Every structure is written in C-alpha cells, then in structure tokens.
Chains A and B, each alone.
Chain A
C-alpha cells in the first residue's frame, strides 16, 4: 500500500471512531480482510505493544502502521491519528463563546457529571477481569487508598504494582 493509501485508511479510522481501541474493527476490516496488507498475527502483536509503552491506548495504530508499511506506514498512522483530535479547538471555542449563559453552565455540569461516570466505567472495565483474583483486588484497593491519601505521582505506584504482580507469581499465588 502507498503512503497516501495508508494515511487515508488511518484518517478514516480515526474520524469514524472515538478513543481507545474503537478504530480496531475498521482497521481490521480494511487492512487484513479487504487489502491483505498485514496478517492477524501482526495485528495481535501491534495490539500487545499498545499495552506496554506510555501514552493512550489508541497508539497501537502506530505499530499497525509499521507492520503494514514500515517507517512510512508508521508516519502515515501518526498523521492520520493526530489530525482529527484537533477538531477539539472548534469545540472549545464554541463552548467559550456561550459559556456564561445559565443553560451552558448546566450543560457544562452535565458533561462533567458524565465524565465522572465514564471514568468509573473505565475503572470498572479494568476491575472486571480481576474479580477472580483476591490478590490483585487487594493491590487495586491498596493503591487506591495510597493515591487518594498521599496524592503521590502514579509512576512509582504502577511500578510497585508490577513488582507485586511478579512477587505473587513467584510465590505461587494465582494472578490470572
């Protein structure tokens, strides 16, 4: 596939999805089924990388771009992934223009209320697979208390969580 073709595929996937793994089905259809640009195994590897590094979950499209077209493929994915979120500038401008009106204040409160619920839902989606492991639930509860009480930087807490997971595994405690 040419650079332009790949760019258009990633731009379309980004424009037609919102966040996280949402572009996954579209990319799967376009790149594996319709164009045969990469294998299912490559696709799975790209997804796994998306769980390792820093940044949003949606960065897995970069790895898919690399598998599909090498370094140019990665850049095609990078540009396709980066452009649509800039539409947010228009949104924040419109919000700013209207924001002193009571109904917009109410609307703002409504958006923020839904954000809190959504954050809870995202947390729940991570918690659900852990429900079978009391040890992992204990790590979750302990780190929640530490984060809320100390307001500590999250990176060392994440690292300690990883170390605790390895410790439990070495002690023979099931971690799923």
Chain B
C-alpha cells in the first residue's frame, strides 16, 4: 500500500531481519565520512529495489531537520517508510551499533594514521573520492526526481538548488534555514499544476 507523501517507496513491510541486515551492512561499508555513508545507503537501498533515488532525496532533506546526527535520523526515517515504527527502531539500531563497535576498536587501539605521511596521502586520495561521491549523489537525486514535464516549476526548482548551494557553500547560512526556506518556497511556488503529475 502506498502511503501519502511517499514518492518512491517500492516495497512496504520489508521483513525486519532484512532491514537489520541492510542497515548493518551500510554501517560497516559506509567509509569516507558522512558523504561516503550517505552514498552507500542510497546505493544499497535502491539496489535492493526498496526505494527510488527520489525518495532517498526527500528523506535526506527531512533527516536534516531533527537535532542530532542526520544519518541516524535518515536510517530511522527510511526504516519507518519500509516497515513502520518497528522498522524505524530496527534500522536505527542496526545502523548505529556496527560503526560504534568499529569506532570503539579504533579508539582503544588508536594509531594516528594522518600523522604518518603515507597514511595522510591515502586519506587525501580518499577525500577526493568522497567529494565525487557527494556530487554524484546530488546529480542522481536531481535527475531522478525533477518534474521535467512542468517546465516552469522545474526551472524554479533548479534555481532553488543553485541558491541553496550558494547559501550554504559560499555564504555559510544555516542548513536548517535553507531547508525550511525550501519548504516554504516550495509550498508556494513548486505546487503541481492542475492535473499535473503528483509526486
């Protein structure tokens, strides 16, 4: 059953053990900081045929609103989409526990990688790929969800994408301000035309 507000949830009532396994896998494989993990999460859930990139984009936006670590909120939201309250709890815990255990091991046996020049060079190479992962995710999200048939709305939305990029990257405005601003601008300007495509 498709719930209101879902723009690309392809499977509902995903078995809890499958959710647990998927988010635990994402937690272990999500190297490259937050961006690497975001990309891994999107890649894994879309690959499994559970959600579309567009749904991921929407939930990524929603996950930036509550306080705390956004990626945990994102796991909670996606778990809710895929199996309600139980799904959100299972996904949240399955996501948090593995990377926390790995961080524990790294902390206890910490040897500074970045203080070693070869380790530092490896980190710099990985950072370049991390930047690419983030740009790729932005591109895939925009491509999959833009309402191209509504040309005026699509143009306005592209304008807001550029504006929010400039606001955060250059002017360093608050992320929450940009998202809430997007919600307000969208409610007024990005409505579907009469008889147009509903998200």
Q: Contact at B107–A158, with CB atoms within 8 Å? A: no
> A105 — which chain B residues lie within 8 A by C-beta?
190-192, 198-199
Interface size on B, residues (CB 8 A): 117
A14 with B136, Cβ < 8 A, contacts A66-B107, A88-B76, A175-B124 known: no
B50 CB within 8 Å of chain A: no
B 121-155 binary contact with A (CB < 8 Å = 1; else 0): 11111111111111111111110010100000100
A34 CB within 8 Å of chain B: no
Size bin of chain A's contact surface? 35 or more
Q: Contact at B141–A158, with CB atoms within 8 Å? A: no
**A11-55 at interface with B (beta carbon < 8 Å):** 14-20, 45-46, 48-55
Q: Contact at B27–A115, with CB atoms within 8 Å? A: no
A154 with B133, Cβ < 8 A, contacts A19-B175, A88-B63, A114-B182 known: yes
| Residue among A100, A105, A148 facing the most chain B CB atoms (10 A cut-off) | A105
Interface of A is mostly: helix
A 103-132 binary contact with B (CB < 8 Å = 1; else 0): 111111111111111111111111101100
Q: Contact at B122–A85, with CB atoms within 8 Å? A: no
Q: Contact at B164–A118, with CB atoms within 8 Å? A: yes
- Shortest Cβ distance from residue B152 to the other chain A in the assembled complex, whole angstroms: 13
In the complex formed, the residue of A with least CB distance to B173 is: A121
* Total A-B contacts with CB atoms under 8 angstroms apart: 410
Instruction: Report how far A74 CA is from B105 CA in the complex, Å.
Output: 11
- Shortest Cβ distance from residue A59 to the other chain B in the assembled complex, whole angstroms: 5
**A49-105 at interface with B (beta carbon < 8 Å):** 49-59, 62-63, 66-67, 71, 74, 78, 81-89, 91-93, 95-100, 102-105
A 124-146 binary contact with B (CB < 8 Å = 1; else 0): 11110110010011011101100
- Shortest Cβ distance from residue A37 to the other chain B in the assembled complex, whole angstroms: 16
Interface of B is mostly: helix
- Shortest Cβ distance from residue A152 to the other chain B in the assembled complex, whole angstroms: 9
Instruction: Report how far A106 CA is from B127 CA in the complex, Å.
Output: 35
In the complex formed, the residue of A with least CB distance to B193 is: A102
Q: Contact at A144–B189, with CB atoms within 8 Å? A: no
Q: Contact at B135–A108, with CB atoms within 8 Å? A: no
Interfacial residues, chain A to chain B (CB-CB below 8 A): 14-20, 45-46, 48-59, 62-63, 66-67, 71, 74, 78, 81-89, 91-93, 95-100, 102-127, 129-130, 133, 136-137, 139-141, 143-144, 147-148, 151, 153-155, 157-158, 160-166, 168-170, 175-176
Interfacial residues, chain B to chain A (CB-CB below 8 A): 3-7, 27-40, 43, 54, 57-74, 76-77, 80-81, 85, 88-89, 92, 96, 98-100, 102-104, 106-108, 110, 112-114, 117-118, 120-142, 145, 147, 153, 157, 160-165, 167-169, 175-176, 178-179, 181-192, 198-199
